[in-house]
C-alpha cells in the first residue's frame, strides 16, 4: 500500500489527520498555543506548532 510520506507525521496531540472531515485545528492545551514548553523547548504535544488537530465530534 501507500507507505510514502504523502502526509506529515501527526503530533501526539493530534487527534486526526489534517483535512479529516469532522476535525479542526485547536489550540494545544499543553502549551496554550505558544508551541513552547516553560523550558523554552518545542512542545512535545503539538510539535512546536502551538496547534493540534482536534476531532470535532459530530456524532
Ligand atoms: Zn503544544
Digit-coded pLDDT (tens) for 2-53:
556 566 677 888 877 777 787 888 899 999 999 999 999 999 999 999 999 8
- Judged against a pLDDT cut of 70, whether residue 59 lies above it is answered with no
The helix (H) or strand (E) run that includes residue 53 is strand 51-55
Cα(3) to centroid(ligand 1), Å: 27
Residue with cell 483535512: 19
What per-residue confidence (pLDDT) applies to 36? 96
- CA distances from residue 42 to 2, 4, 58 in whole angstroms, order as listed: 30, 26, 31
- Judged against a pLDDT cut of 70, whether residue 57 lies above it is answered with no
Residues with CB under 5 A from ligand 1 (ion): 28, 30-31, 43, 45-46
What per-residue confidence (pLDDT) applies to 53? 86
Q: Could you tell me which of 21, 6, 15, 7 has the C-alpha nearest to residue 52? A: 15
What per-residue confidence (pLDDT) applies to 37? 94
The helix (H) or strand (E) run that includes residue 59 is none
What per-residue confidence (pLDDT) applies to 42? 96
Extents of the domains making up the chain: 22-59
Cα(7) to centroid(ligand 1), Å: 20
Cβ neighbors of 58 (< 8 A, separation 6 or more) are: 22
Cα(30) to centroid(ligand 1), Å: 5
Cα(51) to centroid(ligand 1), Å: 6
Amino acid at each position: 500500500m501507500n507507505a510514502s510520506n504523502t502526509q506529515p507525521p501527526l503530533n501526539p496531540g493530534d487527534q486526526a489527520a489534517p483535512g479529516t472531515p469532522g476535525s479542526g485545528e485547536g489550540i494545544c492545551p499543553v502549551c496554550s498555543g505558544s508551541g513552547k514548553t516553560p523550558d523554552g523547548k518545542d512542545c512535545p504535544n503539538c510539535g512546536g506548532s502551538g496547534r493540534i488537530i482536534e476531532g470535532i465530534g459530530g456524532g
